[in-house]
Chain A
Amino acid sequence: MKASTVTPAATGKWRIDIYDLLIKFGLIVASLVCLLPFVHVASKSLSSDSYVIANKVFLWPKGFTLEAYSKIFADASILRSLYISVIVTVLFTILGMILTICAAYPLSRAQFKGRRVITFIFLFTMYFSGGIIPDYMNINNLGLMDTIWSLVLPLSFSAFNLLIMKTSLTSSIPVSLEESARIDGAGHFRILWNIVIPLSKPIIATLSLFYAVGRWNAYQDALFYIKHATDLRPLQLKLYYLVIQASESFQLEATTVTLSNPEVLKASVVVFATLPILCVYPFVQKYFVQGVMLGAVKE
């Protein structure tokens, strides 16, 4: 707003000021379209049933109550799925980063013979895969069905992230630095551990976030692989069954309060599942933007 009031004085043209306002207005509308759905759902989750049933809640809670949240925290299965999600995400991210670094470091070294072939083996998986059913049967054959490993292992290698890591290592670690370390008698393990990893902290942070957010949000594989072990459902899958398919009901601690409106409970469980992402989002956003740029370099 400040800039727009300065512009006409500076240029003496009112026309520009109007366009400026129009652009800002357009952007504000677009941003609100992104924000208001959350505000609405959050308001609903904090409102009392009668107002929600009467369709009177829009962007501010009416008849403020935390009742729905107390029900969520009383539901052991929801807390359990949150716990599963956290465990799976942490294991997945650590494993994914180990795999990415182990593959990217050798492939970024010019002296490494056979790297063209190995790079092809890795990157081919980006364009062609067995597909849903062969993957499913593979998991089944490996005996991973209905275990958290079916969510941790199969997707933990990402060719796309490998590509970003490799590009970053090739450009950011000077060959001379590595050479001098070799002259001093350091092997590849030493170089990787003492030089490459400390120097690549930013890219490691970025890719870890890629892995973590990707894992946190995915539910397709959980839908396929976690069939019978209901206590191993990650949060997103739990949410799917509770809210979208609505096939599961909340385990209410006191059955006498079953009269409460499911819409309020649904809204509050959506907020519950969104909050972890919303909390870290402002801090991780810039890493993601950097990651996108790094990924685009190759293109």
Chain B
Amino acid sequence: MKAASASQTNQALLLRKKYGPLYYLRRDWQLYLLVLFPLAFVIVFKYMPMTGLVIAFKDYKIARGFWGSDWVGFEIFQQIFSKPDFTRAVRNTLLLNVLDLVFSFTMPIILALMLNEVKSIKFKRVNQTLLYLPHFLSWVIIGAIAYQLLSEGSGAVNNLIELMGGTRVPFLQEDTNWLISYLAIGVWHSMGWGTIIYLAAISGINPEMYEAATVDGAGRWRKVWNITLPSIRATIVTLLIMSLGKVMDGSFERIWSLQNKATTEFTTTIPVLVYRWGIESGNFSRATAIGLFQSVIGIILVISADRLAKKLGEDGIL
């Protein structure tokens, strides 16, 4: 009886394999109907714009339209590569992101290790709530608060410096200072939020390891160094590689709300240049080309980062 039913299902499986796509379409039409809605959305708002990338290879004239404009091959790219603004934008994009990585990457690890040492749950929770707070604010609000605190004329930090007998510092109105403030604000914004993944990784560590280490006479630092850190190594490496894949990205909003007319040296990044050339000056071909340049480098970096992660034995991101 059992064998018979088994062979029956086997037969059914064999039969089913012969069905064409129409069979599945008929059987699961509701599923296809459901997926059609988001699919249409993605095509209209994500894939249709991609066709607009052709104007990076055309001399786009609004009057002649999208398809009517002349093909110019790589001429637009040659033009932008020779622009000093372009070189500066690429340098700044890499510079800001690499420095951001250096400073913003370690702070969450340190904070997570510190939070892990705290025994009182209440103390921990209050601290976490406060530390996560900056992550929830928009860059406009952060930019506005930054000016309230750091501006040369009336910023609270400068008022404090003056009160203690120092001289006022143009934190946001001078190039190098601006760069430091930009990085510091980045650390401030992400340090608490970044701890979440590390804390989750730490909470997955087997407590018996700590108990064994305590019995063997290991102190606090020894346990952090020999148990906690090695246990979260995989998480650290994965996150580091993911961030490396993003060094060509650039947050427009963050730069845009922190920049001002006095500091142009480091604020010209690729997205800013795209905005200036494209939306402000109406040179769509050039702005599209520089955006495409960034996207292509970006995707190459992501794929390489993924390969690297897999080579090192970590889970990839793709």
Contacts and interface: CB of A to CB of B under 8 A. Distances in A.
Interface of A: 1-3, 16, 19-20, 23-24, 26-28, 30-35, 37-38, 40-41, 44, 52, 55-58, 98-100, 102-103, 105-107, 109, 111-114, 118, 121-122, 125, 127-138, 142, 153-154, 156-157, 162, 187-189, 192, 213, 216-220, 223-224, 236-237, 239-240, 243-244, 263, 266-267, 270, 273-274, 277, 281-282, 285, 288-289, 292-293, 296, 299
Contacts of A266: 144, 148
Main SS class of interface, A? helix
19 contacts: A27-B115, A34-B192, A37-B149, A40-B148, A102-B34, A109-B28, A127-B299, A129-B49, A131-B294, A132-B279, A133-B287, A217-B139, A220-B253, A223-B256, A239-B140, A240-B257, A267-B148, A296-B197, A299-B242
Interface in B103-146: 111, 114-115, 117-120, 123, 126-127, 129-134, 136-141, 143-145
B292 interface: yes
Contact of A2 (B120, B141, B144): B120
Contact of A106 (B34, B46, B242): B34
Interface of B: 21, 24, 28, 30-32, 34-35, 37-39, 41-42, 44-53, 55, 66, 111, 114-115, 117-120, 123, 126-127, 129-134, 136-141, 143-145, 147-149, 154, 156, 159-160, 162, 188, 191-193, 196-197, 200, 220, 238, 242, 252-253, 256-257, 271, 274-275, 278-279, 284, 287-288, 291-292, 294-295, 298-299, 302, 315, 317-318
A296 B201 CA distance: 10
Contacts of B119: 3
Given A41-B148, A106-B32, A106-B35, A220 B252 contact: yes
B299 A154 contact: no
A1 to B, nearest CB: 8
Contacts, number: 258
Given A263-B154, A267-B148, 14 more contacts: A31-B131, A33-B188, A34-B134, A99-B37, A103-B39, A131-B274, A131-B294, A132-B287, A157-B42, A217-B137, A239-B144, A244-B147, A289-B196, A299-B242
Contact of A131 (B130, B145, B292): B292
Residue among B49, B119, B257, B284 having the largest count of chain A Cβ atoms under 10 Å = B49
Given A31-B127, A138-B52, A281 B133 contact: yes
Nearest to A6: B119
Contact of B138 (A57, A219, A296): A219
Contacts of B139: 217, 219
A138 B55 CA distance: 13
Contacts of A125: 42, 46-47
Main SS class of interface, B? helix
A164 B117 CA distance: 31
Contacts of A98: 37
Contacts of A52: 154
A267 B141 CA distance: 10
A30 B131 contact: yes
Nearest to B184: A33
Contacts of B53: 130-131, 134
Nearest to B309: A299
A46 to B, nearest CB: 14
B238 A188 contact: no
B59 to A, nearest CB: 15
B291 A24 contact: no
A58 B123 CA distance: 26
Nearest to A154: B45
A187 B183 CA distance: 54
A266 B49 CA distance: 38
B288 A131 contact: yes
B284 A137 contact: yes
Nearest to B257: A244
B288 A219 contact: no
A156 to B, nearest CB: 7
A213 B193 CA distance: 15
B295 A157 contact: no
B253 A34 contact: no
